[in-house]
Structures are given as C-alpha cells and as structure tokens.
Structure 1
Amino acid sequence: MPKTFCVVGGDARQRAAAQALRTAGYRVVGPEAAAQADYVLLPMSQDRVSDEVARTLQTVRPGTLLLAGRPGAPVERAIREASLPMVDYFRRPELECLNAVPTAEGCLAMLLQLRQRTIWESDFLVLGYGRVGRAVARRLELLGGHVTVVARNAEQRANARCAGHHAAPLGALPTLLPAFDTVINTIPAMVLPRELLQKLPPEALIIDLASRPGGTDFTAASELGIRAEHALALPGKCAPRTAGTLIAQTVLALLEERGSLHDEP
C-alpha cells in the first residue's frame, strides 16, 4: 500500500505539491484525515500557527514526520510542544538551487511591471552573487541588460566577471549607487542603510529578494521617495505550480534517502 501524505494548506503551491505526490503514486489526504498520514507536508514560511496547522498537530499519530519549509519560530515551537519529528526540506541544496529560477523570473516580472523601460539596454546593480543573484544576473544579461554585480567574496566577483558581468566589492557601493536607478538585492544583511540610499538617483527602484528582514532600510527608502519592494516568496506567488512540484520532488528525494518511502516486506 502506498504511503500517505497529509498536505496542509490550500494555496496554489500546496495544491501543486499534492498533485505531484499523487502523480508519483502516493495517497494524499487533507488535514481532516491527518491521523491516517505517514507524513505531513506543512505550508512554507508560516509566521504563525494557523488553526489548520494547530488541528493537524493535535490529530496526527505520535512519531509522524512533519515536512516543513522555512518554518517560523511559532511553528517550530508548536512542533516541539507536540513532540513530533520535523525536517526542513528547504535546507536541501537542490531546492535552494532550483527555487532560484522562479525567484529570478518573478523578479523580471516585477521589473517589467514597475519600470517604464525595457530590460534591454538598461543598467542593473545586483547585490550578492549566490544562487539567486546568479540566476537574476544571468537572465538580465540574456535579455540585453547591463549588469554590475557587487559581492563581498572575491571568488563570487571573479565568477561574475567570467559570466560577462561587471563586478565590484561591497565597499564600492557609495561610488556606484548614483549611476543606477534599479538595484536588486539578494544579500540577507543591511547593505542599503539610509546613508547609502541617499546616494541613489531620484525615483530609484529597489527590489529586495533577501529573506526577512531584507537588506534595505525600507523606512528610510519610503521617506526618501525611493520605491523599495521586499519581494518575498516569489516562487509561490509567480509560479506556484512549478514551486509546488519542486517541493514534492525534494520531499520524495529526502524520504528516499532516509529509506522510509517503502513499506517493509
């Protein structure tokens, strides 16, 4: 008999994950049948314990493995109090890598929506050259944009140069910022405080892709008339079907490695 997954949450990403699990041959139930589940797939990046999650934690059998993606502190605390095992599937490097693609595409969609010019022949300053920074910079360049990458790490700057981008150290920001009206940040640290924001041209746009709290002083940006968007969870917003399928694939790979997807003979 196939293993049973309880998928909690009804957004498009969770629905896509549930469908991918069914397609792979597994039984999928909702929270109302959590007691039948071998595994529970929780929604990603929850800042609070929803009523649905709370009921699920009360209903599941002891020892049922919970699969969570970037669970917030309240969710982690509730799971500990329920004495249930949990794995954060978002820590898997393959998901972080693959998730950079819908994040980058979502960033491009925002640029096309919020700017009045083409990406082609526009100048972009990309802060950070990790998975997301690389994915964004590459797609901007392919569309004819001119990309300058700023990164602390010398190897990342070298990789950016090898990819055809201009590259500069983080300390060069005060000199660089006046020449760019579009900045994309991927660094999860305060790299754009008020004193640097003041160097941007009027009506500049910042798209901050870094996880909370981001790398921008959003209050200062608003006061200075700079549009700064903290673009969180873009895969789930812009490409939920892809995002959900990637989650299901990652979860299945994780469980396969644990040797817990198949019943003992």
Structure 2
Amino acid sequence: MNKPGKAAVIGGDERCAVCAELFAKSGVECAVFGLEKSGISSSATKAASIADAVCESDILILPLPVMSDSARIFSPLSDANILLSDVIGNVSEKTVIFAGNPQKCFFSAIENAGLCNEIINYTKSDLFAVLGGVPTAEGAIIEAINATGKTVSSSKVLVVGFGRVGKQLSSLLKAMNADVTVTARKSTDLALIKSCGMRAEKTGDISKTKSRFDIIFNTVPACIFDEKTLKAIKGRPVIIELASKPYGEGFKRKKRRRSAPQFVEKLFIKVF
C-alpha cells in the first residue's frame, strides 16, 4: 500500500494513540476521535466528531478488539458512546478499514450498510503477532507478580496454548527459573515443549492434571476453564487471561468461584 494521504483513528486504547502519533510524525495527516483520555500527547488532529475524523480518509484504524459489544466501538479512553453505525455511516467507499480481530457483528453491519470497502484484520499479520507478543508476555508476568506477591522464580506455572504468545511467554518464564508446564494440541508442539525443558500436556486434558499451579496463563481463545476444569484445578491459582474473544464464554462460571476479572487496558489482559 502506498503512503496514505489521510488516516483516521477511532476509539481504542493507548496502542491506538501511539498509532496516531506515528502517523503524524511520518507526515501523514491523521485525525482521531475517542482518545481524549490518552496520556500520550499527539500532534494528530483531534476531530470534533466521527464524521470530521473519517471524512475523506484513505485508511481507517479501528481498535483491538473492534467492538465492546454488538453496537459500540471499543473506546476505554473516551466517555463517548462510539456507535459502529455512526462510523460506517461516514466512511467513504475508497477507505481501507484496518480492524483488530473483527467479529461477525462487524461484518454484518458493513454488509447491511451496503459497503464494499477493503477490510484488513491486522491481527492476522505475522509481524504484528510476533512483535505484539513481547509486551503481552512481559506485561502478563508483571501482572502475575503483582497478583501473587511472589517471584516467578520457582513458581509452578501453567501456560495454556503454544501459539505465538504462548511460545514467547513460556520461554520468558523458563528463563526466569519458573517450573513451567505448557499445553498444546499438536504432537509436534508437545515434543517441542519437552525439548525446551518444560513439561507438556494436551490442552484438552487440563481437567485431568494432578499438578498444583501457582499461576495459570491462558492464551487460547475458547472456553477452556469450564465448571469441570475449574473444580479439578487444585488450590486457588491466579488465572491470567491473555486470549482474545471468545474468552468471555466462561466468565460467569468463573465468577462464582473467583473474584471478578480485573481489566488491564494497556495490555488487554484480564486477571481473576
């Protein structure tokens, strides 16, 4: 893609604020809406309305996750209710839309509006995923230390999933002398985990584990911790949720057993 003439950034957390600032510093005209509580000073134009921000933009950057519910754009740094319908109602047909892991309701709204814009899910980019996994892994470890009040060294840790985040997180934990168990589905991943000096278990067998863990990190976007699994887990480990939606499928069940999830905006981590 050629350098855009104008970019718009709507909603999101500090990551979107950084994105807007990078656009502005690179000489791209950039307008933002829904970032008024950001602690990052930016030379991007603060638009008075969604229409002003989106109008004639070559690209539109939407947050990760795109939606806070089926109607509203995720916008923790704004008091405004930013409706998806208001955003797409002002989008030009030429605008390329970049969205973080858009769900079915997002595509349905685009289709119902009769738009044929190019939509790019930037979370599918390998570069984004790999580089984004570094701060996610480091931030998750910080949250674990804060939540437990103990060092990671010698702690018994379970990492659920061996994708990009799971690989980086388990590697960091191992380097910090944690006692690490990692789950995966593929036999090749299980073999790789063992070759790295960590214990390996199948993700589907978590409820059968006999081990006791101090900390559990979940990176799998599915309801891994159902009622059966939660009852099977020994003790009361801190569970840190790092996966994207549908992580929420099990929250109601989990809430009955543990305190409500704590939302950490900058890293998109839930601790409970």
Structure 2 match to 1:49: 72
Choose 166-175 or 139-148, whichever is displaced more. Answer: 166-175
Q: Is the 8 A contact 1:208 1:228 kept in 2?
A: no
Alignment of 1:82-121 (within 5 A): 82-85=114-117, 86-121=119-154
Alignment of 1:1-265 (within 5 A): 3-9=5-11, 11-30=13-32, 31=50, 32-45=52-65, 46=67, 47=69, 48-50=71-73, 51=82, 53-80=84-111, 81-85=113-117, 86-170=119-203, 172-214=205-247, 217-223=250-256, 225-226=257-258, 229=261, 235=267
Quick one: percent identity of the two aligned structures?
Answer: 27
Choose 141-150 or 76-85, whichever is displaced more. Answer: 76-85
How many angstroms does 1:227 deviate by? Answer: 5.3
Choose 80-89 or 12-21, whichever is displaced more. Answer: 80-89
Structure 2 match to 1:248: none
**Separation in 2 of the partners of 1:18 and 1:169?**
41
Q: Is the 8 A contact 1:185 1:215 kept in 2?
A: no
Task: Write 1 or 2 for the structure with the bigger share of helix.
Answer: 1
**Separation in 1 of the partners of 2:63 and 2:195?**
38
Please report the TM-score for the alignment, with normalisation by the length of structure 2.
0.75
User: What is the RMSD of the two structures over their aligned residues, measured on CA atoms?
Assistant: 2.9
How many angstroms does 1:5 deviate by? Answer: 0.8
Counterpart code for 1:7: V
Paired positions, count: 237
How many angstroms does 1:179 deviate by? Answer: 2.0
**Separation in 1 of the partners of 2:210 and 2:262?**
19
Please report the TM-score for the alignment, with normalisation by the length of structure 1.
0.77
How many angstroms does 1:178 deviate by? Answer: 4.1
Give secondary structure in 2 for the equivalent of 1:189. coil
Q: Is the 8 A contact 1:57 1:79 kept in 2?
A: yes
Give secondary structure in 2 for the equivalent of 1:63. coil
Counterpart code for 1:63: K
Counterpart code for 1:89: Y
Q: Which runs of 5+ in 2 are unaligned?
A: 33-49, 74-81
**Separation in 1 of the partners of 2:26 and 2:201?**
46
Identify the structure with bigger relative contact order (alpha carbons < 8 Å, sequence gap 6+): 1
Q: Is the 8 A contact 1:207 1:228 kept in 2?
A: no
* Cα distance per residue 1:40-83 (max 9 Å; x no partner): 11222113334365434233333322221122333322322141
Structure 2 match to 1:247: none
* Cα distance per residue 1:132-163 (max 9 Å; x no partner): 11111111112221101122211111221222
**Separation in 2 of the partners of 1:111 and 1:141?**
15
Counterpart code for 1:151: A
Counterpart code for 2:26: A
